[in-house]
Structure formats: structure tokens, C-alpha cells
A and B are shown apart, each in its own frame.
Chain A
């Protein structure tokens, strides 16, 4: 198990040396995704990025309470449960960000007066949690078969005090960073769906991070495509 990992990291460094101005640390961690692992929810997915893992379950379209129903589209609800303790304000704000992203993408108008409930459970947190939640949410929505206008993915960038950009930072890198930016990008034209940032950065740095996130999003969408191909192909 150790050796293949070592050769891969060497390749990464070589690739870096070759392509001139490649910023060190610009690589995505090891990804893994498993779909349909829970039997009760309509769609479920477990997404792993390095040591961060999130489990998502989707119920829907299902019956909605009269107080919450919207006459012309589906009511989307997101619940994020932390690993330890009761959910607090941070969870509420993340829920809202995830909900806004999903509402932009899911075709709610095809299922009016129904409810789509997404439950996310944080299994372990080792950096880039919101991005992992977004990815798990997207895979769970695909597994549930809900109509969407595009897929989406989450990418996190961290800027340290010298201005070096790091993609998919670990918890340690996030803590030491000057600014942490998370973006949700759509799969059609890699446009920005949602962004949330914490810390100090200039507008040039923002554009750089966004461009880097778009480059990283390509890898994530390729991963989605391959994992779905594996599942649905007949061979």
C-alpha cells in the first residue's frame, strides 16, 4: 500500500518541475465515492476526500407539510449533522449554502408541492468539509434520480500568508491559511454557483483562486463521470 502512494507523489512532483510555474501543493487528495449504500433513503452517497468523509441521504420527491409547501416547485430541505454534539449555527449556515446550490440546480418545477430532503452526516473532518458535503450531495441527488439541470461540485482553496494557493487543503493547512475560499461550480460551463470565503484576500487573488478551482473542477467532474460510467455500463 505504501509503495504505489510514494510513486504517485513522486510523479506529482515531477509533473510540477516540468510545467514551469506550477504552484507546489496544487493537487487534489485521494477521492472515493460509493453510491446506494443505504437502503431506506431514495438516494445515498458517501464521498471521501483524503480523510474527510461525508455521508449523504436524499428522500424525495415526497409528501410535504402544508405549511412548507410551495405551489409551483419542490421544497428543498438540507440537514447537516456534525460528528459530535448537537447541530449549531455553523451547521445552519452551511445548510443554507448547500440548499442554495441545490436549488439552483435541481429542477424543482417538475415536482410541485413535494419535498426533497437531503440529510448529510459528517463522518470525519480533515479539511475542505463544505466541498466534500457538496460533492456528496450531488452524488446522492444523482443516485436518487432527481432531475437536475447540471451536476455541481465543491472545491476549496486556501491562501497562505505568502499568497501561495493550495487546493483541497487539509485541516492544518486551513488553520494556518490567511484566507479559505470555497466555490461550488456547475458542470456545464464550470460557472460559479455559490462562493463562501473566510479571511483576507485581494480581488486579483479571488480571480486566481476561482480560475484554479475551475481547473480542479474538471478533475472532479471527470471522477463523477467515470464513477457513474462504472455503475451504469453494461460491460
Chain B
């Protein structure tokens, strides 16, 4: 979302660099006390995961990401757990108040962009400035003026006093930012204790012309049942389902009647097939009629199998049924004995050319 160039799935170089830098800044500087995350030595431990979602890239995402990460870690509360001998009890948020992580210090990154081989220096560059800069220097510092991480990229060569100057500027910036963070965290804690509203919902500013709020609105659903009944009454009832299966042979049954095959357009060469398909349909219908007790043998019943010029059709051959004491069976057998055909094409499937 942050920029049109960022495609989902593929981790671009910039994101890999950011990831690596934040890992060094937060993990290697040991700002979080990882020993306190242990539950049972050698067996159970808490795993903390930080998911950073970049919303908008208008320059200097490194600083923004580092601030977001450390504030999220400071704001986070984990469920309380107690260990009695071998038993570990995990308390839910309702049973016991969740416990914050123990954070030693808050490392915050400050970026410096250099132009014209170190002549010009810009703190906190925006997107346009980043595009034309020669090199970037990132210093991660905490409020005690301790440098946690320092990284120079872009291949510019800096003098010692330039780096020292940058670290002084970083010290001032980090002090301001840390104060802002503390105020925000205290504010949130106060609001939560008083029971007021907190969270992302409150960050929408009412005064902005592009923002709009609507309070809880009741919806009148009194005529919902009447409307629903009207619709159901007007709607067509579901079509009747023929549920009487017709058993041809053990293992072969027929439910309903087949309809004419409507796949593809019929071309010239296939037109003669159409007539034969028609006659085949007649055969099928006749068979059904036989099963229901009516013996009708129209001219459609042919002795010899139908042979077509384009022999791309598959012929399905019904094997002679075994002598079966079922009523239906005897009817078919009797019919067949009368006519004595060797094969009977029951179904034909057309292949789409």
C-alpha cells in the first residue's frame, strides 16, 4: 500500500534492508529483557513477534518504523502466567491483568541524508529528498545518549567530526521523541483506567473536512417479516424433482429423462447425425415406456446399429442382461427376444469438433 512500486509478495531490497536494520536495533541492543520471557527454563518461553505494516511511504520509513516498533513493544501486555512446581497456569485477560514487557531502554533511529559528497546534510529526509541523496546515515540512539546501531549506506565518505555532529543532533531528536512517546503511553493508560474510548477510532480528527462520524443508528426492521413472506410467495416454487429411479441392470439406473444435447453449434457434417440422435432419443423413450409396462415399438427401433460417416462418435453398447427374475428385466428380455437385435445403441455422445 505504501507506494505504487511495492508489490505484494516480493520483498524488495529496501524492505530487506529495513528489516535487517530494525532487527539489529531492537534485538541486538537487548532493549527487551528476554530472560523475563522465560516461563519454564529449558521448556517453555514466550515468543514476541512485531508485525509492521507500512501505510504510506513519503520518505524516511526507517525512523517511523523504529518508533512504531518500540512504542508497540512498550504498549504491549502479555497474559500473566504462574508456575507451581510442574504446573503452568495461564490466566486470561479477564482473570488477571496482563503484564507489560520489561524494557530496558528505547532505541530510536534518526536518519541523515547527505548531498554533494557530505557538504549538505538533511535530517529526516522526505521522499523527494531521498531519491536524490548521495548517501544515508542512520544512527539508533536511546535517551541516555547511547548509540545502539549506526549504519552508513550509499557509499559516501564521511569525516569523523561529521559523524559526531550527526550523533549530537540525533541525541537532541531522540530526547524529544522519547518524551512524546512517554506522554502518549501515559495518556493511553489514563484513558483506559477511566474507561473512556481508546484506540485507532479515537485518532480520527473530527475537525478535518475529509472526516465524518455518525453515531449509533437504530434500524427499523419491523416490516422485515412481511417483506420476506411477500418475496417467498411471489417466487416460483422449486421445480419438481423426479425421484423414481429406473433400474436397467444391477449397477445401472436412470433418474429422469435426458434432454437434447445442446453443446456447440451443429455444422454441415453433423447435421445427418442430428437425425440419428433424434432416432436414438426415440429408442430411449421407448425403453422407458417398456419399463412402465407399455410396449410400444415404433419405427425408431432399428435392428442394425447406426453407422455414421464421421465416426468420431462414441458408441455405448448395452450388454445383454443376465436372466434376472425382476419384473422389469423380463419385460426387456421378452422384447429383445422378439426383435433379436445383436446390439442396441442406447446413448450416443457427440464430441465437440
Contacts and interface: CB of A to CB of B under 8 A. Distances in A.
A46 B55 CA distance: 11
Contact of B212 (A40, A124, A223): A223
Describe B's contact surface by its main secondary structure.
loop
Contacts of A36: 210
A227 to B, nearest CB: 3
A167 interface: yes
A138 to B, nearest CB: 14
Contacts of B201: 30, 32, 48, 51, 53
Contacts, number: 155
B216 A230 contact: no
Contacts of A227: 212
A223 B221 contact: no
Nearest to A210: B228
A26 B221 contact: yes
B232 A41 contact: no
A29 B218 CA distance: 9
Interface stretch (B2-10, B101-109, B253-261, B321-329): B2-10
Interface residues of A: mostly helix, strand, loop or mixed? mixed
A40 B3 contact: yes
B211 A33 contact: yes
B131 interface: no
Interface stretch (B115-123, B192-200, B244-252, B305-313): B192-200
B180 interface: no
Interface residues of A, number: 66
B200 A37 contact: no
A109 interface: no
Interface string B279-311: 000000000000000000000000000000000
Interface string B171-197: 000000000000000000000000111
B219 A27 contact: yes
A30 B51 contact: no
Interface in A6-27: 8-9, 11-12, 15-16, 19-23, 26-27
Interface of B: 1-4, 8, 49, 51, 53, 55-58, 195-197, 199-201, 204-205, 208-225, 227-229, 231-232
Given A5-B216, A39-B56, 9 more contacts: A4-B215, A38-B56, A40-B56, A53-B200, A79-B8, A117-B4, A123-B200, A204-B228, A207-B231
Interface of A: 1-2, 4-5, 8-9, 11-12, 15-16, 19-23, 26-41, 46, 48, 51, 53, 55, 57, 59, 62, 79, 81, 83-85, 117, 119, 121, 123-124, 165, 167, 203-204, 207-208, 210-212, 215-216, 219, 223, 226-227, 230-231
